[in-house]
Structure 1
Amino acid sequence: MQSTDLRLRLPDRMQLPVPRPESELDFHREELLSWHVDPETERVRFLSLIVGDREAVRDVAGDLEVVHQFELTPVDEDTFYAYAVMDLRAADATLMGAFDEPGLVIVPPIVYTGRETVHVTILGEPDALARLLEGVPDDVGVEVERVSDHQRSAETLAGRLTARQFEAMETARELGYYDVPRSGALAEVATELGCSESTASSLLRTVESKLVDAALGR
């Protein structure tokens, strides 16, 4: 059995109408762990694990007309579970329908790293995977990151890293610290994070250690 990792870029019509700039939300990552669509009520219930500002996320959810129920359960200072019941929008149904094909299975979690960026793993027979992109709406950007035998660990990443560690990792990646060859210096990462080089180095070493453990299933 094979699987593929996809990075999706959602158009405006598929993004939640969040009434504030993303920069003010202090949101780092959402892992959609489980979901159920009720065809009778045309609502979707889902459970997510989120890294970010708990109160900011709560406020945003409360402002959305499509959300009918929203409950948070803290894990630690900046990681929490979110249970929600919301209307199934036509745009959501269109996107989900692209993967609702014989021979394909979505492998949780579906990972959101921003309003428009979604990472999803699809498991399936080779022929079904080969036809997969034909069902994706034309205005959704798709990048195929991997196609191989399925070996993905079931443990989520959000449970391993804190929001500060995610921020350090994202900053280092954006500045070229992980480019090969490296194009960004540790000093630049530290400046962007507003901390010393030793603190930035410690954050990144911790991230790298946890990612290695995750990759090895430890």
Structure 2
Amino acid sequence: MRVDRTISNRGMKRILFSVAYPDRLVHPLHRRVVEEPSVTRAELLMWSPTEDATTLLWCDGDRADTERVVAGIDSLVTSHFVGGTDGTYVFLRQDGYEFSATLLDIVADSRVIFLPPVVFSEDGTVEFEAVGESTALSAFYEALSELGSLTIERVSEFERRNSPSQLTSRQQAALETAVSVGYYEVPRDGSVENVADELDCSTSTAGELIRKAEAAVISAYTETT
């Protein structure tokens, strides 16, 4: 399926992709997320445009769990951990990003821009957003499809200002699940643990998804009132 067959060819588009790579192309960090039972999700929040690979990473585990995940990065030079209420942040400096050369060539040749975060999930999928003209996005889609199983999760118009009303598929699923288990009933019947069970993820991940989705919905509402 070509991207430009599913959306208009005019204007700038924003597409949420998810991809499952074959084992030979799986990033070492992602491999550790899949293997480490206490971490189910890692988000690459920021990356540096400089020659040294400096990134800000977030994992949904505590510091000890996150340290075990980061230990799987052979290119690691230095790391600094910062605890949070729902996970752990890590400032990383590496001597290389460790993505496959084939993947980096596709990224370098594409005429699209990638928006943070890049999400590495325990089920082996990588989720990310790309922005560009539909023809460029279509070419990128076809090239990346040759490397892994690629799915288009959402297509929308690109807005110069970030729209908080756009939920990721995971955030939308979390809200829908929260409603179905009675999380928003008065008095409350369901819990974050119930949502986590339904989504098959950790409690911290479910809580984070709900909070981010709620923030997006509330922000969108206040912008229109």
Normalising by structure 1, report the TM-score.
Answer: 0.65
Q: 1:14 to 1:127 in 2, by over 3 A?
A: same
Number of aligned residue pairs: give it: 185
Residue in structure 1 matched with residue 57 of structure 2 by the alignment: 48
Output the CA distance in 2 between the equivalents of 1:50 and 1:20. 11
Residue in structure 1 matched with residue 21 of structure 2 by the alignment: 10
Identity %: 23
Indicate the RMSD between aligned Cα atoms, in angstroms: 4.0
**Whose helix fraction is larger, Structure 1's or Structure 2's?**
2
**Which consecutive residues of structure 2, in runs of 5 or more, have no partner in the other structure?**
1-11, 182-187, 196-205, 221-225
Q: 1:87 to 1:154 in 2, by over 3 A?
A: farther
Q: Is residue 200 of structure 1 aligned with residue 211 of structure 2?
A: no
User: 1:21-59, CA deviations, whole angstroms, 9 ceiling, x for partnerless residues?
Assistant: 8464311322212113655xxx52211222123212213
| Structure 1 residue 150, shift from structure 2 partner | 2.3
Write out aligned runs for 1:15-164 (5 A): 15-17=26-28, 22=34, 24-36=36-48, 39=51, 44-76=53-85, 78-88=86-96, 91-101=99-109, 103-114=111-122, 116-136=124-144, 138-150=146-158, 153=163
Q: 1:89 to 1:12 in 2, by over 3 A?
A: farther
Output the CA distance in 2 between the equivalents of 1:71 and 1:208. 27
Normalising by structure 2, report the TM-score.
Answer: 0.63
| Structure 1 residue 137, shift from structure 2 partner | 6.0
| More deviation, 140-149/44-53 | 44-53
**Which consecutive residues of structure 1, in runs of 5 or more, have no partner in the other structure?**
158-165, 179-184, 187-196
Q: Is the 8 A contact 2:46 2:56 kept in 1?
A: yes
Q: Is the 8 A contact 1:153 1:215 kept in 2?
A: no
